[in-house]
Chains A and B, each alone.
Chain A
Amino acid sequence: MIKLEGLTKVFKGHNIPAVKDLNLEVNEGDVCVLVGPSGCGKTTTMKMINRLYEPTGGKIYIRDEDVLQMDPIKLRLDIGYVIQEIGLFPHMTIYENIATVPNEKQWPKDQVKEKVDNVMSLVGLDPDVFKNRYPSALSGGQRQRVGVARAMVSDPSIMLMDEPFGAVDPITRARLQNEFLRIQERMDKTIVFVTHDIDEAIKMSDTIAVMKEGQLVQHATPSDLLSAPADEFVSNLVGRNRSIKRLHLIRISEILEDVDRAPAIKDDTKEEEVKKRLDESDLRTVIVVDRDNKLKGVVGVNDLKRKTGEVAGDYYQEVSDTVTDDATLNDALSVMLEIGEGYVAVVNEDEKYQGTITLGDLLNVVREES
């Protein structure tokens, strides 16, 4: 889909090329993450694809078409572009911001409106609430969502993303990453993604291209990169705790069905039954859900002693945090460490209870994989 051949960039007034003789191929529907320390040329490489920088040498092909022969404006209109600083236009509403590319392409008004509404819902922003707001009235995470929506609105088959989730706190970042992966699963876009964060690279990518001093060091799937780093630079980059990094590669939904654990109890379960189930449980706790399978909380042995009541609903405590089933095992691990428990409850998008993951489960996965 995207092919870079002998790509080189030397900036004016510099002797050392920023990018040197780079060859890279990205397949259709793949997320290729360019990763490396700052100044390694990853952003420069990305900006040459939509010709914000003109290459000094080499060729770029998109679907076998020579990019350097194309009209740069036309080329950019068909490539989604997201940058770390987002660059929302502060004098335009969210609607006007997202409608930028369709307006440049002079789409009919009602079509623009429909597409903007769709893409806003897709990234989790209610159009009726946010449409007429200005960027200054949005939180960091919401702005990032607008940035992604603005890049996706005209349905480009290729997207370039330069640290798109860089400017938010780690928790929001993990959520945005998961949401984006969920969208990508449906959209199947070809994406070139730049980051300096190897964990993010492992999580988001189909293939990882490691760069150093303007050159490509290794281009491989995340799994291959972890098991067979090409040289010392790559193995230093992925770090010593590779087994923990593998937790980035696996989604909770993938292991949830293999975990054999007693199901949750309804909140109208009688006390006797709750006691029985507590004795059977390996965690000494049971999850309580309501009639719609929505997570209510958790009952432990002590709760039965401390409180009085008749049914499970009288005893449960709320859980401080949960994970969604599309999060990675690494996300599950960090939530467990954060709430200080050996388990975490898994819910789906609609907060319906899906199961429970324990530290032991994670350990088993790591053991199997290595």
Chain B
Amino acid sequence: MDQLLGMAFDVFRAAGNGIESIAQAGDRGIIAHTIDYISRRSDLILELMLEHLWLVVLTLIIAVTISVTVGIIISYYESFAQTVLGICQVLMVIPSMAMLAFMVPLFGIGFTTGVVALVLYSLLPVVRNTYTGIRELDPAIVEAAKGMGMTERRILFKIKIPLARPVIMAGVRTAAVMMIGIAAIAAYVGAGGLGELIFSGISRGHQPMIIAGAIGVSIIAIAFDYLFYYGEKRFSVEGSTREGN
């Protein structure tokens, strides 16, 4: 017990030292430095944020289009599904640095490489959620639709996709937030965005730069998460008009 307390104490002391050393980084403290940096270079930061946003939005559109299509297709071919989901799983566990490095010989250095790598990363959550969202629908609903004479196409667009939409959107939300983080690393292969700020901050030992980049990434991530949360509430028609009995 004493040993445990001692260990806890060590951890606290180490954390305290860390904060102190950050605070001692300059005469006026790191926070003031950062605010100063942000106000001086607000043009650059805003430009990089927009670049970052563009990278994420473009990737998201491509990734969701591919993933939803793949998810729908594998929901019809059960034997195929596990293989496809397995591949997506493997893609996702590759460390992001390694994935970006793999892409460079194929697509060179630049924006395209970043987009391709990010698309490959974000396949799994959306493919998997589309697939399970459709597979786990109440079979009675699908049977009733079929028995009444709806074509497979109509069942897909009028019944399956609308009912699976909340699950699909949850996947998109996961993918988006994940992608915003990884997009920062994509600056490593010249894809641009807030990652540039972070990487050059690291190489120059310029802490306010790193923090400014991190804040920018966080703002985008929180904004996206809120946007999806709000969208989910707004579009769940059943929720807004449902009456009690």
* Residue in contact with B241 in the complex, picked from A86, A100, A101, A134, CB distance below 8 Å: A134
User: How far apart are the CA atoms of A133 and B243 in the complex, in Å?
Assistant: 7
**Is B148 at the interface (CB under 8 A from chain A)?**
yes
**Is A104 at the interface (CB under 8 A from chain B)?**
yes
**Is B244 at the interface (CB under 8 A from chain A)?**
yes
**Taking the nearest CB of chain A, how far is it from the CB of B157, in angstroms?**
12
**Taking the nearest CB of chain A, how far is it from the CB of B43, in angstroms?**
47
**Is A281 at the interface (CB under 8 A from chain B)?**
no
In the complex, chain B residues whose CB is within 8 Å of the CB of A137: 242-245
Q: Check if B149 sits within 8 Å of A73, measured CB to CB.
A: yes
* Residue in contact with A90 in the complex, picked from B143, B150, B238, CB distance below 8 Å: B238
Q: Check if B138 sits within 8 Å of A85, measured CB to CB.
A: yes
**Is A138 at the interface (CB under 8 A from chain B)?**
yes
> Residue of A at shortest CB range from B147?
A81
Residues of B213-245 contacting chain A, CB below 8 A: 237-238, 241-245
In the complex, chain B residues whose CB is within 8 Å of the CB of A79: 149
How many B residues are at the interface, by size bracket?
20 to 34
User: How far apart are the CA atoms of A81 and B159 in the complex, in Å?
Assistant: 17
User: How far apart are the CA atoms of A160 and B149 in the complex, in Å?
Assistant: 13
Known: A87-B143, A137-B242. A76 touches B148 (CB 8 A): yes
**Taking the nearest CB of chain A, how far is it from the CB of B245, in angstroms?**
6
In the complex, chain A residues whose CB is within 8 Å of the CB of B143: 52, 83, 87
**Taking the nearest CB of chain B, how far is it from the CB of A157, in angstroms?**
15
User: How far apart are the CA atoms of A263 and B150 in the complex, in Å?
Assistant: 55
In the complex, chain A residues whose CB is within 8 Å of the CB of B238: 90-91, 134, 136
> Residue of A at shortest CB range from B162?
A91
Size of interface on A: residues with Cβ below 8 Å to B: 31
**Taking the nearest CB of chain B, how far is it from the CB of A112, in angstroms?**
14
**Is B206 at the interface (CB under 8 A from chain A)?**
no
**Is A178 at the interface (CB under 8 A from chain B)?**
no
* Residue in contact with A77 in the complex, picked from B140, B145, B149, B241, CB distance below 8 Å: B149
**Is B41 at the interface (CB under 8 A from chain A)?**
no
User: How far apart are the CA atoms of A326 and B154 in the complex, in Å?
Assistant: 41
In the complex, chain A residues whose CB is within 8 Å of the CB of B241: 132, 134
Q: Check if A89 sits within 8 Å of B245, measured CB to CB.
A: no
Residues of B160-186 contacting chain A, CB below 8 A: 162-163
Q: Give per-residue flags for B35-70: 1 if the beta carbon is below 8 A from chain A beta carbons, else 0.
A: 000000000000000000000000000000000000
In the complex, chain A residues whose CB is within 8 Å of the CB of B163: 89-91
**Taking the nearest CB of chain B, how far is it from the CB of A88, in angstroms?**
8
* Residue in contact with A100 in the complex, picked from B138, B148, B237, CB distance below 8 Å: B148
**Is B141 at the interface (CB under 8 A from chain A)?**
yes
Residues of A18-66 contacting chain B, CB below 8 A: 50, 52
**Is B93 at the interface (CB under 8 A from chain A)?**
no
Q: Give per-residue flags for B115-151: 1 if the beta carbon is below 8 A from chain A beta carbons, else 0.
A: 0000000000000000000000010111111111111
Residues of A190-237 contacting chain B, CB below 8 A: none
User: How far apart are the CA atoms of A175 and B243 in the complex, in Å?
Assistant: 25
Residues of A116-133 contacting chain B, CB below 8 A: 132-133
User: How far apart are the CA atoms of A136 and B245 in the complex, in Å?
Assistant: 9
**Taking the nearest CB of chain A, how far is it from the CB of B124, in angstroms?**
26
Residues of A297-311 contacting chain B, CB below 8 A: none
> Residue of A at shortest CB range from B150?
A104
* Residue in contact with A87 in the complex, picked from B145, B149, B242, CB distance below 8 Å: B145
In the complex, chain A residues whose CB is within 8 Å of the CB of B243: 133-134, 137
**Taking the nearest CB of chain A, how far is it from the CB of B18, in angstroms?**
52
In the complex, chain B residues whose CB is within 8 Å of the CB of A100: 145, 148, 150
Q: Check if A86 sits within 8 Å of B144, measured CB to CB.
A: yes
In the complex, chain B residues whose CB is within 8 Å of the CB of A50: 147
Write the residues of chain B forming the contact surface with A, with a CB cutoff of 8 angstroms.
Answer: 138, 140-151, 154, 159, 162-163, 237-238, 241-245
Given A76-B147, A91-B238; 9 other pairs, CB 8 A cutoff: A52-B146, A78-B149, A85-B138, A85-B140, A87-B141, A89-B145, A134-B241, A134-B242, A150-B148
10 nearest interchain CB pairs? A87-B144, A85-B140, A76-B149, A77-B149, A81-B147, A87-B140, A137-B243, A87-B141, A91-B162, A73-B149
23 A-B contacts, Cβ less than 8 Å apart?
Answer: A52-B146, A73-B149, A74-B149, A79-B149, A81-B148, A83-B143, A87-B145, A88-B144, A89-B144, A89-B163, A90-B141, A91-B163, A91-B238, A100-B145, A100-B148, A100-B150, A104-B149, A132-B241, A134-B241, A134-B243, A137-B244, A138-B245, A160-B147
